[in-house]
Structure 1
Amino acid sequence: MNIMLACCAGMSTSLVVGKMEEEAKAQGKDYKIWAVEQGQIESELGNFDVLLLGPQVRHIQRKVTKLVGDKAPVAVIDAAAYGRCDGAAVLKQAEDLVSGE
Structure 2
Amino acid sequence: MKIILVCSAGMSTSMLVQKMRKAAESKGVAATIDATSEADLGNHLDSTNVILIGPQVRYLASKIKTKAEPHGIQVDIINPMYYGTMNGEKVLEQAQGLLEG
Question: Taking structure 1 as the reference length, what is the TM-score of the superposition?
Answer: 0.95
Q: Where do 5+ consecutive residues of structure 2 fail to align?
A: none
Q: Where do 5+ consecutive residues of structure 1 fail to align?
A: none
Partner in structure 1 of residue 6 of structure 2: 6
1:12 Cα deviation after fit: 1.0
> Partner amino acid for 1:97?
L
Partner in structure 1 of residue 40 of structure 2: 40
RMSD over aligned CA atoms reads 0.9
1:29 Cα deviation after fit: 1.5
Q: How does 1:1-101 map to 2 (within 5 A)?
A: 1-70=1-70, 71-100=72-101
The 3-state SS of whatever aligns with 1:12 is coil
- Greater shift after overlay, 63-72 or 46-55? 63-72
Question: Taking structure 2 as the reference length, what is the TM-score of the superposition?
Answer: 0.95
- Greater shift after overlay, 38-47 or 74-83? 38-47
1:42 Cα deviation after fit: 1.4
- Greater shift after overlay, 18-27 or 42-51? 42-51
Q: Which runs of 4+ in 1 moved over 4 A?
A: none
1:30 Cα deviation after fit: 1.9
